[in-house]
Structures are given as C-alpha cells and as structure tokens.
Amino acid sequence: NRMALAFEKRAEMSKNAIAKQLFNIMAVKKTNLCISVDLTSSTQILELLEKVGNHVCLVKTHVDIIEDFSSDFITSLKELAKKYNFLILEDRKYADIGNTVALQYTGGLYNISNWADCVTCHSLPGEGILKALNIKSNCDKGVFLLAEMSCEGNLITPEYTNETVKMAEKYPDLITGFVCQHKDTFKDPGVIQLTPGVQLQSSKDDLGQVYNTPEKVVLENGGDVIVVGRGIVSAKNPESEAILYKDTLWKCYIKRISG
Ligand code: 5BU
C-alpha cells in the first residue's frame, strides 16, 4: 500500500530516474509542494522562484505562456533549480501522433527536452506518444501521464483512466507518475501521484477548475506531489503562503504514513 510508505522507501522502488530523484528531494527538503508558476513574464517567474524555491520539490511551467521567452531564461531557471534543489516539470500536455510529439519535444523555439526534467502527456492518442517520448528521452527524463483531470465536466471515464495506467505499465523506465485525483488509480509505490486542484482560499474558479483541501487530496485521495498555482502565485505574500502550503501538506503526509 503506497499510502503508508515513506517517500525515501518509495524512491528505492522507482524504475524511472526522475521519480527516484523527486522522492529523494521530497524526503530531504521535507516538502511535497509543486508550484505552478503560471506567470507570463520571465522576470516575474524568476523573482517568484527566488522566494519559493526553498519550499518546493518541483516547479511546473507552461512555457508557451511566457511573453519574453529566451535561452537566458532557461539558463537562470536551471541555476535556480540547482541552487534550491528542485526539479522542473513542463506541463505541455502532449496529445498528438508520436512523430509530431517527438518534434514538439525536441525542437521548436522551446526545445523542451533540453531543460525539462519531465513533461506531462495525454494518453488519448495511444501508445505511440509514449514510444516517441521514450526514444527521445535518454533514460534520465520522465513523463507524468494524465489519467484524470481536476476540472468539472472533463470527458475522461473510469475505463479511460484504467487503460491509461495499463498503457504506462509497458514503459516503466519512462513513467515518473500519473496526474490524477484518486488513490486507487494505480498501485505501484515507485510511481508518483501528482495532484492539481488545491487551494485553501476557494473551492473553484470561474472556468471549471475544482479545488480540494490539502487534507482531502493527501489523506483521502492519495496525492503525493501537490500542485498549487494561484493559491500561492496570486497571494499578497507568495513566500509566506508557500510556507503555509508546504507545512500543511507535509503534516498531512506525515499523518498518512503514520497510519
Ligand atoms: P491553479 O492556479 O492552482 O488552479 O493551477 C493549477 C495548474 O495545474 C494549472 O497550471 C493547470 O494547467 C494545471 N492542471 C490542472 O489544474 N488540472 C489538471 O487536471 C491538470 C493540470 Br492535468
């Protein structure tokens, strides 16, 4: 039962290199908080990460919303990742045929495979998408596969979720984890449950996002790494808010593994 196991134990069970690293970072820094830096200016992103970098295990980006993207931004982002010991997840949500995804992953303006430790990906197109990412990822990268979404009215069915998990089982070296909302979605303790849709202040936004509390996502729903965006990014004091989320989420995790 992965719910009761400590992250350092689960690191030993991971077949994917990034999952192993992420479990170990969480254990060392005592944080399972992932910040989603959904800001459109690279300066704003870097300033925010200077403040919250110490308190997170993972930084999630949407690189295609940045208005002044440059290779200097990536250099600075990588420096911060090293300085504060966090990993980088580009939330690209690939969803095309394998050949196109291979080009999107390794080419274009963003050259994501060059700097992101891991990426998100839909299972909708079938196995070819994982085949493509696997070929291009040289053993030291990872994929979070979308098995469920947080937003209301999404079209993912329980069958789709099950088939997604089955598909991932063929690529154990590649799969860092699943983006999902429920603890029964998968069993492998070496795999990470990434759960977005968490906020302390509100229960939804105006465009379909649904928020749960840290207690619910970690203790009931099995979230390992928890994604918080606007709850921190839009706060008056993002640093103190990040500490509040970190402490709350970590307490829930400790309670979970203490049975
Ligand atoms: P928020 O500000 O905490 O609502 O941001 C949540 C982030 O997580 C945002 O970047 C979304 O793109 C991302 N997300 C999500 O909210 N729900 C999902 O099911 C998936 C990703 Br997959």
Mutate to test the pocket of ligand 1, among 33, 119, 180, 227 (most ligand atoms within 8 A of CB): 227
**Beta strand 33-36 pairing with 118-122:** unpaired
> Over the stretch 75-110, which tens digit does the pLDDT of each residue have?
999 999 999 999 999 999 999 999 999 999 999 999
Residues found in the chain: 259
Please tell me the pTM assigned to this model: 0.98
Q: Provide the token pair at 213.
A: 């509390």
Those residues with Cβ within 8 angstroms of residue 210's Cβ, 6 or more apart along the chain or in another chain: 150, 151, 152, 197, 203, 204
* H/E element, 93: strand 87-94
Instruction: Tell me the per-residue pLDDT of 2-41, one tens digit each, with 9 for 90 and over.
Output: 999 999 999 999 999 999 999 999 999 999 999 999 999 9
Task: Provide ipTM, 2 decimals.
Answer: 0.99
Provide the total of helices (H) and of strands (E) in the chain, helices listed first. 10, 8
Instruction: Please give the Cα distance from 32 to 37 (Å, whole number).
Output: 16
Q: Is 36 in the pocket of ligand 1 (CB under 6 A)?
A: yes
